[in-house]
Amino acid sequence: MPTYAYVILVLGWLIWLTPFLRAKQSEKPAKQVDRRARWGILLVAVAYTLLWQGRFWERSPRPRQVMLSIVFFVLASLLSWTGARALGRQWRIDAGLSADHELITSGPYRFVRHPIYTSLLCVLLGTGVLITPWWLLLPSLLLFIIGTEIRVRIEDHLLASQFGERFAEYQKRVPAYIPFPK
């Protein structure tokens, strides 16, 4: 694999990851946490692991793969930076609610309810189209969707329990993490 492909991967991942490393989480403990969402995290981790199993170092990506990868990484970075900023101190790895939790519907949350998961999908696709053969990318994508659906359903349930009809209206209006379908 040519050096520029490694540079795209490293920069794409670092730029995407930076807002989460810089994020300041609330010092207050969550009033409610649903640890079942960790199963979703595990499946997403397995999905990412599959991406790296195809002897990528022996292949050179085509120009369209390189361009598509860059587009996905740019989208991922835009969503991670704006999503983490909009959430502020509410961002956390575990699915949970703070006592003073707010329903965020601005920024990227106008377009998808879970833009950070959309950014994770873009990172998966940016990495996958650059280095992963299709026969590994497809099961990786399937595992990612299953894991993300687990998290989305748990988080949506938590938000519905906190915000009731306001969240139900938001949920009807805004898709979960893939823009456009509702």
Per-residue pLDDT tens for 132-147? 999 999 999 999 999 9
SS3 assignment, position 93: coil
Q: What is the pLDDT of residue 34?
A: 87
Rg over CA atoms, the chain? 17
Domain ranges of the chain: 3-20+32-173
Task: Give buried/exposed letters for 91-117 (b at 16+ CB in 10 A, else e).
Answer: beeebbbbeebeebeebbbeebbbbbb
Give me the CATH code for the 3-20+32-173 domain, please.
1.20.120.1630
CA–CA separation, 179 vs 61, rounded Å?
Answer: 27
Q: What is the pLDDT of residue 91?
A: 83
Which residue numbers in the chain have pLDDT < 70? 25-28, 181-182
